[in-house]
Amino acid sequence: MSVPASPYVTVLPRAHPFLSYQGTPTPAYELDSDGIPVITTSGLTKVYRSRGREVTALDGVDLHVREGEVYGVIGQSGAGKSSLIRCVNLLERPTAGTVTVAGQDLTALAGRGPRAGKELREARSRIGMVFQHFNLLSSRTVQDNVELPLEILGKSGKERSRKALELLDLVGLADKAKAYPAQLSGGQKQRVGIARALAGDPKVLLSDEATSALDPETTRSILQLLRDLNRQLGLTVLLITHEMDVVKSICDSAALMENGRIVESGTVSELLATPGSELATALFPVGGEATGADRTVVDVTFHGEAATQPVISQLSRTYNIDISILGAAIDTVGGLQVGRMRIELPGRYEDNVVPVGFLREQGLQIDVVGEDLLVKEGAK
């Protein structure tokens, strides 16, 4: 059987700058020389001690978030995500390790004892924080909630009012300035939370499950707002989520946390180019089961020029084998168009080493499904 070139193979842009990456994954902060890390944690460790018990919530986390990117940290409940974000702005004091935000070593500030309070407060005012449950003061109007951080910074009434109204306009709530939180929908409350987080003109915005309490449509509009703010203001966003869709829709980079450790991280395109990447598979699932025991199932991810070549039909012709397409998808992940196809070759992997090698030589990302060792070999 000769398989015609799948239409989806040719849909990908010819020389998409983000899809041309084919080398060994490197840490995100080394990839782009213009990408200065704006948040760096090094060996960040947090051990909670309560009633004689110890819980290691963070176990040596090295995180590098580049200026101007939206960086998502995903992981299951208890993985340490909230601990990480709370340590980044020193709301939680790390047990060990360092946190640097916009060139300032916050851990060193905190380490100088009670007198460091003012400096740390100032540094923290330049780090916006958005919460799952909004944390608005119910007795204050929307405008007064947004003005709160400006009061703490000692700004004049006139300045506070000007800034708050400007921010409410930015988040689309100019007409709600005099309303009280109880009169707002969940999405509107979160917009107030975001406006308040921007009051100190932060360079970075931290978001802990900002959309978890919202319905899917409101979630989309809040994510869009975060994306717009990221683009318009050049705001770096570090967001924590347990929803893969959040990462998929707005993140440039992502990290997977398990048991207090980052087990995978990189730009979305790097992750997609990493054989065996759990995050990539979760971000871009393709279904399809093997039709029999003696079959080799291979996931093919298309990158750059290779995507435009009718490789599957070439493979079929060159080795005279029948190839079944079990599943295929083209989607936008983190703003990048990506294609992935699951194909099945007759015979076991041992019989298909050469055809699989052929696919790799075409510059395609190849994951042999269910062959952990071989997947690792492909990662070399």
Q: Rounded to an integer, what distance in angstroms lies between the CA atom of residue 61 and that of residue 44?
A: 5
H helices of the chain, where? 7-11, 28-31, 81-88, 106-110, 117-125, 142-152, 157-170, 186-197, 216-233, 244-250, 268-272, 278-283, 311-319, 353-361, 372-379
Q: Rounded to an integer, what distance in angstroms lies between the CA atom of residue 141 and that of residue 195?
A: 13
Q: Rounded to an integer, what distance in angstroms lies between the CA atom of residue 105 and that of residue 123?
A: 10
Residue 79, interface with ligand ATP (CB under 6 A)? yes
Q: Rounded to an integer, what distance in angstroms lies between the CA atom of residue 313 and that of residue 317?
A: 6
Phi, psi of 67 (to 5 degrees): -60, 135
For residue 94, give the amino acid letter: P
**C-beta of 47 vs 321, nearer to ligand ATP:** 47
Specify the pairing of strand 127-130 against strand 324-333. Answer: unpaired
Query: What is the smallest separation between the CB atom of 92 and ligand ATP, expressed in angstroms?
Result: 8
- Non-local (6+) Cβ contacts of 260 within 8 A are 46, 56, 57, 58, 59, 61, 79, 80, 83
Quickly count: other Cβ atoms within 10 Å of residue 300's Cβ. 26
Query: What is the smallest separation between the CB atom of 144 and ligand ATP, expressed in angstroms?
Result: 29
Per CB under 6 A, the list member of 77, 138, 232, 320 interacting with ligand ATP is 77
Phi, psi of 297 (to 5 degrees): -105, 130
Contact of residue 48 among ligand ATP, Mg ion, none (CB under 5-8 Å per partner type): ligand ATP
Residue 83, interface with ligand ATP (CB under 6 A)? yes
Contact of residue 80 among Mg ion, ligand ATP, none (CB under 5-8 Å per partner type): ligand ATP
Question: For ligand ATP, which stretch binds (CB under 6 A), given 2-10, 81-89, 261-269, 281-289?
Answer: 81-89
**C-beta of 50 vs 232, nearer to ligand ATP:** 50
Q: Rounded to an integer, what distance in angstroms lies between the CA atom of residue 78 and that of residue 63?
A: 18
Q: Which among 235, 237, 225, 227 is positioned nearest to 170, based on CA atoms?
A: 225
Sign of the dihedral through C-alpha 24, 30, 33, 36: positive
Per CB under 6 A, the list member of 75, 181, 193, 266 interacting with ligand ATP is 75
Contact of residue 79 among ligand ATP, Mg ion, none (CB under 5-8 Å per partner type): ligand ATP
Contact of residue 83 among Mg ion, ligand ATP, none (CB under 5-8 Å per partner type): ligand ATP
Contact of residue 78 among ligand ATP, Mg ion, none (CB under 5-8 Å per partner type): ligand ATP
Query: What is the smallest separation between the CB atom of 80 and ligand ATP, expressed in angstroms?
Result: 4
Query: What is the smallest separation between the CB atom of 174 and ligand ATP, expressed in angstroms?
Result: 33
Contact of residue 50 among ligand ATP, Mg ion, none (CB under 5-8 Å per partner type): ligand ATP
**C-beta of 82 vs 253, nearer to Mg ion:** 82
**Within 18-57, which residues bind ligand ATP (CB under 6 A)?**
48, 50, 55, 57
Residue 81, interface with ligand ATP (CB under 6 A)? yes
Residue 137, interface with ligand ATP (CB under 6 A)? no
Query: Residues in the site for Mg ion, rule: CB under 5 A?
Result: 82
Q: Which among 249, 308, 238 is positioned nearest to 14, based on CA atoms?
A: 308
The binding track of 208-247 with respect to ligand ATP, each residue x by CB under 6 A or -, is: ----------------------------------x-----
Residue 78, interface with ligand ATP (CB under 6 A)? yes
Per CB under 6 A, the list member of 72, 80, 334, 355 interacting with ligand ATP is 80
Residue 263, interface with ligand ATP (CB under 6 A)? no
Contact of residue 37 among Mg ion, ligand ATP, none (CB under 5-8 Å per partner type): none
Tokens encoding 104:
């300032």
Residue numbers at the binding site for ligand ATP (CB under 6 A):
48, 50, 55, 57, 75, 77-83, 242
